């Protein structure tokens, strides 16, 4: 039998490796930024076009590479970071596998320009699909500039799996945030389609957070500091009142490397126990310093998951540190909120014994000596008072005449109402009532063949969805003006999204004023939107657009109406009156598609009398 096992060609092996390393344009951004940091750069510039599908360019002022190193950097398993297997457990650099550039070059057009400080000229290499097209000497500044063009040009199937530019750009921004937050001592710049998105100068950690997420973030931060033999913690957590519905502002850095850890996240959640509303997630920006020998980074291709030797100890220290910081800055509740310091026991009386009070008894006291005199005086004054006002007792009786008897006969006592049978009342009400609410979740409505069981949350979503869609299409939505303008603050990238959907929001009834780079004022809201829900609605809307819920095949208008209907629909557990239940039923079946919610889930089910009868067989 012939041999069937053979070695894969290099370009095929590189494409297979690219499937693990390069999942989307943000993966390329991550690898290139980390390489620039390992090159000891002080300034890094990221340039992106079409959300990275057309161009990803990273320019740094680091050490640069020689001509030989520039060529070897695109070979598989070629790295300057490690020499032996033991080095894997003493890593202080970002990259170490030597697969990133080789994988990227296998699925894109790559151009590299690099120059070391002691050299007069630099090197330029152009690679297309793992093939070196050109290599020459060029004049270039000190450092490295690498451009990745036409990602997945030779793997169209992978390119078709990419999401829209809005979603891919959000992933790139997420990676940019993770790298920039881990290194506040480096200047970062980011440009997308020629417009500046971030300009982050060298600063301290707190200022870096503020520069990324907006100036309003400064007042939300609570510092966390802890230094032990096992773990050193530094950073900030967000105040509970500023917690958000999404998990966007949650960052763990271990030895300046961003990681994801559900276990450590649970430690933060536990520290905030009792301080957050239902469904809210705390913000945190925490740096953890541990001995590199106690962690294993090489367990995941993206290196965002690592393994700790002693997770339980880290969990306990992290939870205690965050809890201490929240209490130290008067964030966590205390037992007595209005304690008066004047009532505290002075330190001078702390160890003194209390003196027993002395009791004196008058043994000659007789309580009956003046009883008669007092009683007579009381009786005399009482008689005198009644005698003087006896005529006032009969004032008004003649005017009522015979109606006094009738008035007394019409008096109804509260006890009479309580004695009426509850079953008689329920029967009378049930004859008139056509809908019932079950567990504050379902509405039961009678029909000829049986009954309908309606999910009140999904049904209201469908009603609101069609109303908003009609308002945006017709552009005649009703708006209620606010007595005082509502000021809201968002990060610059979120304000960009709001500006994109501003016109559609105005067609639903929102009225905007004074939009800036980080804030906006709302002077009017749709009639059905309470003022207290506006910020929650906009946050949910921004989150849905960033994640493109449900998917990229739907228009922005459809996405907007679905997000708003989801935020404003009545929730499970809300009690409805009979009129509200009937309105819900009538309004639902007046919709064009009453059978399903905007997310294509059933809004009601029917149960016939025959089905009920079979239950009793």
> Are residues 474 and 568 both part of a single domain?
yes
Is residue 615 domain-resident?
A: no
Is residue 403 domain-resident?
A: no
From the number of C-beta atoms within 10 Å of its C-beta (0-12, 13-18, 19+), residue 316 rates as middle
CA angle 116, 122, 123 (to 5 degrees): 120
491: closest CA among 204, 113, 220, 275? Answer: 220
Q: Residue 299 above 80 pLDDT?
A: no
Question: How many beta carbons lie within 10 A of that of residue 240, not counting itself?
Answer: 20
> Are residues 196 and 218 both part of a single domain?
no
Is residue 334 domain-resident?
A: no
Q: What is the mean pLDDT of residues 186-201?
A: 92
Is residue 447 domain-resident?
A: yes
Confidence (pLDDT) at 424: 44
Q: Among 200, 232, 247, which residue terminates a domain?
A: 200
> Are residues 148 and 262 both part of a single domain?
no
Confidence (pLDDT) at 22: 81
Report CA-CA distances (Å) from 104 to 37, 127, 153, 175, 562.
18, 10, 11, 17, 38
Q: Domains in the chain: how many in total? A: 3
User: What proportion of the chain, given as a percentage, has pLDDT over 90?
Assistant: 22
Query: What six digits make up the tokens of 384?
Result: 């005198």
Q: Among 200, 228, 258, which residue terminates a domain?
A: 200
Helix (H) or strand (E) holding 126: strand 122-128
Confidence (pLDDT) at 223: 92
> Are residues 451 and 590 both part of a single domain?
yes
Confidence (pLDDT) at 437: 87
Chain length of the chain: 617
Confidence (pLDDT) at 384: 47
Domain residue limits at 17: 10-200
Is residue 154 domain-resident?
A: yes
Is residue 307 domain-resident?
A: yes
> Are residues 184 and 218 both part of a single domain?
no
Q: What is the mean pLDDT of residues 430-441?
A: 76
Q: Residue 306 above 90 pLDDT?
A: no
Q: Among 296, 328, 360, which residue terminates a domain?
A: 328
Beta bridge partners of 43: 187
> Are residues 196 and 217 both part of a single domain?
no
Is residue 231 domain-resident?
A: yes
The pTM of the whole model exceeds 0.85: no
CATH code of the domain covering residue 477: 3.30.1370.100
Most confident segment among 74-88, 195-209, 320-334, 397-411? 195-209
> Are residues 56 and 138 both part of a single domain?
yes
> Are residues 32 and 157 both part of a single domain?
yes
CATH code of the domain covering residue 289: 3.30.230.10
Q: Residue 425 above 80 pLDDT?
A: no
> Are residues 171 and 251 both part of a single domain?
no
Q: Residue 422 above 60 pLDDT?
A: no
> Are residues 154 and 16 both part of a single domain?
yes
DSSP codes, 274-338: TTS-TT-B--EEEEEE--GGGEE-TTSTTS---EES-HHHHHHHHHHHHHHHHHHTT-S--S-TT
Residue 537 confidence class, pLDDT cut points 50, 70, 90: confident
């Amino acid at each position: 039998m012939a041999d069937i096992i053979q070695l894969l060609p290099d370009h095929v092996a590189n494409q297979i490796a690219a499937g693990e390393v390069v999942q989307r344009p943000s993966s390329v951004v991550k690898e290139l930024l980390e390489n620039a940091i390992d090159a000891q750069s002080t300034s890094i510039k990221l340039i992106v076009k079409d959300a990275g599908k057309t161009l990803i360019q990273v320019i740094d002022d680091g050490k640069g590479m020689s001509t030989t190193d520039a060529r070897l950097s695109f070979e598989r398993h070629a790295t300057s970071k490690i020499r032996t297997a033991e080095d894997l457990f003493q890593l202080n650099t970002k990259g170490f596998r030597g697969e990133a550039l080789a994988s990227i070059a296998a699925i894109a057009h790559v151009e590299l320009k690099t120059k070391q400080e002691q050299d007069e000229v630099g090197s330029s290499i152009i690679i297309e699909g793992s093939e070196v097209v050109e290599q020459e000497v060029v004049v270039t500044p000190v450092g490295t500039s690498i451009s990745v063009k036409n990602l997945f040009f030779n793997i169209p199937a992978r390119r078709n799996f990419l999401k829209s530019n809005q979603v891919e750009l959000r992933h790139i921004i997420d990676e940019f945030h993770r790298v920039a937050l881990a290194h506040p001592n480096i200047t970062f710049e980011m440009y997308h389609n020629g417009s500046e998105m971030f300009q982050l100068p060298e600063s301290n950690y707190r200022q870096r957070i503020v520069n990324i997420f907006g100036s309003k973030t400064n007042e939300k931060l609570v510092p966390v500091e802890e230094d032990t033999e096992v773990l050193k913690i530094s950073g900030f957590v967000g105040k509970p009142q500023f917690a958000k519905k999404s998990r966007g502002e949650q960052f763990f850095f271990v030895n300046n490397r961003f990681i994801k850890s559900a276990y450590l996240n649970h430690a933060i959640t536990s520290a905030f126990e009792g301080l957050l509303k239902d469904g809210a997630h705390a913000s945190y920006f925490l740096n953890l310093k541990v001995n590199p020998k106690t962690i294993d980074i090489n367990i995941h291709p993206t290196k965002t998951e690592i393994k700790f030797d002693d997770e339980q100890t880290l969990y306990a220290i992290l939870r205690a540190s965050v809890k201490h910081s929240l209490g130290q800055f008067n964030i966590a509740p205390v037992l007595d909120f209005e304690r008066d310091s004047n009532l505290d026991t002075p330190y001078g009386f702390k160890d003194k014994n209390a003196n027993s009070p002395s009791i004196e008894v008058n043994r000659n006291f007789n309580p009956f000596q003046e009883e008669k005199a007092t009683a007579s005086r009381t009786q005399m004054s009482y008689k005198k008072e009644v005698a003087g006002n006896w005529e006032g007792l009969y004032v008004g009786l003649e005017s009522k005449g015979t109606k006094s008897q009738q008035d007394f006969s019409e008096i109804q006592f509260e006890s009479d109402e309580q004695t009426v049978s509850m079953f008689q009342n329920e029967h009378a009400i049930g004859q008139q009532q056509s809908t019932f609410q079950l567990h504050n979740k379902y509405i039961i409505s009678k029909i000829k063949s049986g009954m309908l069981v309606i999910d009140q949350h999904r049904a209201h979503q469908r009603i609101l969805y069609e109303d908003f869609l009609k308002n945006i299409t017709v552009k005649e939505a009703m708006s209620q003006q606010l007595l005082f303008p509502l000021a809201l603050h968002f990060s610059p990238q979120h304000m960009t999204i709001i500006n994109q959907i501003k016109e559609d929001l105005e067609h639903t009834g929102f009225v905007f004023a004074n939009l800036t780079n980080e804030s906006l004022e709302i002077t009017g809201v749709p009639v059905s939107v309470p003022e207290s829900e506006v910020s929650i609605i906009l946050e949910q809307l921004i989150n849905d657009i960033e994640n493109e819920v449900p998917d990229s095949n739907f228009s922005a208008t459809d996405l907007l109406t679905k997000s708003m209907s989801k935020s404003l629909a009545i929730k499970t557990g809300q009690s409805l009156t009979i009129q509200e239940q009937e309105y819900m039923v009538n309004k639902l079946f007046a919709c064009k598609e009453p059978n399903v919610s905007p997310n294509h889930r059933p809004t009601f089910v029917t149960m016939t009398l025959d089905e009920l009868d079979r239950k009793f067989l």
